[in-house]
Amino acid sequence: MQKRIKNLFKDNIFIITVIITTGIAYSSLVKAPKMGGDFTNFDKLYHVLAYFILTTCWLFTFHKKSLLKYVIGIACVIYGILIEILQETITSYRTGDYKDVLSNTIGIILAIIVYSITSKRN
């Protein structure tokens, strides 16, 4: 069973990665529901997690090309910046935030570090 799941992910990693990339764009640009309570900067953890997952998926998509990990990291940073620019320019209910870009970048760096450590073991 575990091998079947592993092969399912392995055989469809590109499709999964595109869905995650699209999902992040969609969730970043639609109107978010109002949350109760005071969660000042709590959303930054979501940014770290989302961009950690995004970067990890792209790293596994191109895992046989280890030199691409830095290109993937830079592309994910640019993607995050573009999303923030789009939030500021095409929506009236979202705002771009440099703290979000910083949180995204932290998630990206963590993903590259974890990927580098784990890929050396294999």
Residue 37 covered by a domain:
no
**At which residue do the structure tokens 């209910």 appear?**
93
The range of the structural domain enclosing residue 57 comes to: 2-29+43-121
Residue 35 covered by a domain:
no
Residue 94 covered by a domain:
yes
Burial group, residue 87, by CB count within 10 angstroms (0-12, 13-18, 19+): middle
pLDDT score, position 94: 83
Residue 107 covered by a domain:
yes
pLDDT at 22 over 90: yes
Cβ–Cβ under 8 Å, residues 43 and 95: no
Residue 36 covered by a domain:
no
Element housing 106 (H / E): helix 98-121
Question: Where residue 109 falls among pLDDT bands split at 50, 70, 90?
Answer: very high
Residue 38 covered by a domain:
no
Range of lowest pLDDT (5-14, 50-59, 92-101): 5-14
Alpha-carbon gap, residue 47 to 88, rounded angstroms: 17
Domain count, the chain: 1
